[in-house]
Structure 1
Amino acid sequence: MTQLTLTRERLDELLADESVPVAHRALWALLWEGEVRLGDALSLDVRDVEFGAGTARVEYPKRGSGPVSVPLGDRAAGLLRQVIGERADGPALQVAEQPISRISAARRAREVGAGSIHAFRSAGQAARRPAQGVTGV
């Protein structure tokens, strides 16, 4: 699969695949459902996630601004709850008590046929855009 062919149906299959560690599935949901970049998602701490408010606090160092709250989609929030469990701090996205790295995120995305870890974010953005049609014809 290429970056542009990751469909909502394929995402649904991947998020339901319990053979994939829940932290990776939570990452994919975060990338698909919101405006979170890969580095921002991987740097989330447990303390950054506010389940009651349905948000995560993300810092955008490239923008030079302070942290902002971004909404969590239902699937991302549910999977994050599973990953975080009762932990009070530490990396939000970890497998076997180790934070997910960019390399392992990219490797896992290729293994499941997504083409690229970035396919989750770009396909999610495309799915959220309103359909563009021809007007004035």
Structure 2
Amino acid sequence: MIHSESSTLKSSVGPKLPTVCIANAIDTLRLTIFRAPTEGDRERIHNSNYPQQDQAVFWRPLDKLIVSESPIVGFDWVTQMLGIKKAKNIWPENSCGSLFKDVVTSKNLQMEISEWCADSGGFELIVHTTTPET
């Protein structure tokens, strides 16, 4: 990530906004998954998503809401071990195939994000990767 004086100054002015992280590595893997020659290959590529989405716990800032395709395994244990006091992991009930579309279309995810940001008037958005939907 490239930082400039203006981005550093901007982030230090005013109240800190809550952070929402869209751990959407799966969205870039989907095209590869669909082209894989066998079901085993598709499953192997899909499973490579989990370590990538799980890394979102370690991204700064540590206090954040993480939206992932599925639950991050060991989330409670890892956040407790790291001393993270304000972190939460949410995921769509039934993924449509794009994590951003899931966020836009899921009332439950929207409600969770709204509650996370309740009194702040906004939030800082971190995305894992850029896709046509972003």
> Normalising by the residue count of structure 1, what TM-score does the alignment of the two structures yield?
0.28
Which one has a bigger Cα radius of gyration? 2
